[in-house]
Amino acid sequence: MDILLILYSILLASILCTPFLYIRFNGKILTTRNSELKSTLDSERKMLLENLKDLKTEMDTGKIQVSEFSELSEDIIANLKTLDEKIKSVKAATPSLPVVGTCSKCNFYTPIVGAKFCAMCGSSLSG
Ligand SMILES: [Zn+2]
């Protein structure tokens, strides 16, 4: 076999593998486990809130009685409370990013924790 073909296939294979290896060894930096857990908890919370909203809509349109609504919503609210506690504990375990603050160009204060860019003019807050 042609030596160049072998060399090119090795080169191609290593190029194709690089992003996977990068994720494999730097995965902890890219996505920490806590933030993953937090996002799943957040999506669960969103789902519960949507269920509650649907129930409210059904009650408003007269599909279910008020007593049924309060009965069904009790479970959802209890679940929401436990979820909120979980989210709180996860947030306490995760070190929060420092507030970057005021833009050097337009002096707009960005109150978002860990913001990298100004919310008003879009310029970088770190530079
Ligand atoms: Zn700005």
- Give the span between the Cα atoms of 41 and 47, in whole angstroms: 10
Angle at 106 between CA 103 and CA 112, to 5 degrees: 40
**Is the model more confident about 90 or about 66?**
66
The alpha carbon of 113 and the centre of ligand 1 are apart by a number of angstroms equal to 16
- Give the span between the Cα atoms of 125 and 100, in whole angstroms: 7
- Give the span between the Cα atoms of 74 and 80, in whole angstroms: 10
pTM for this one? 0.48
Statement: residue 86 has pLDDT above 60: yes
The alpha carbon of 110 and the centre of ligand 1 are apart by a number of angstroms equal to 8
Question: What's the confidence (pLDDT) of residue 94?
Answer: 67
Question: What's the confidence (pLDDT) of residue 96?
Answer: 55
Query: Tell me: the pLDDT tens digits for 18-47?
Result: 888 887 777 666 556 777 788 888 899 999
Question: What's the confidence (pLDDT) of residue 38?
Answer: 80
Task: Compute the radius of gyration of the chain from its Cα atoms.
Answer: 25
Statement: residue 81 has pLDDT above 90: yes
The alpha carbon of 124 and the centre of ligand 1 are apart by a number of angstroms equal to 8
Statement: residue 108 has pLDDT above 90: no
The alpha carbon of 117 and the centre of ligand 1 are apart by a number of angstroms equal to 8
Helices (H), 31-60: 33-60
The alpha carbon of 109 and the centre of ligand 1 are apart by a number of angstroms equal to 8
- Give the span between the Cα atoms of 40 and 35, in whole angstroms: 9
Q: Helix and strand tally (H, E) in the chain?
A: 3, 2
Confidence of residue 9 (pLDDT cuts 50, 70, 90): very high
- Give the span between the Cα atoms of 97 and 112, in whole angstroms: 10
Statement: residue 102 has pLDDT above 90: no
Statement: residue 100 has pLDDT above 80: no
The alpha carbon of 114 and the centre of ligand 1 are apart by a number of angstroms equal to 15
**Domain ranges in the chain?**
1-30, 31-95, 96-127
The alpha carbon of 32 and the centre of ligand 1 are apart by a number of angstroms equal to 30
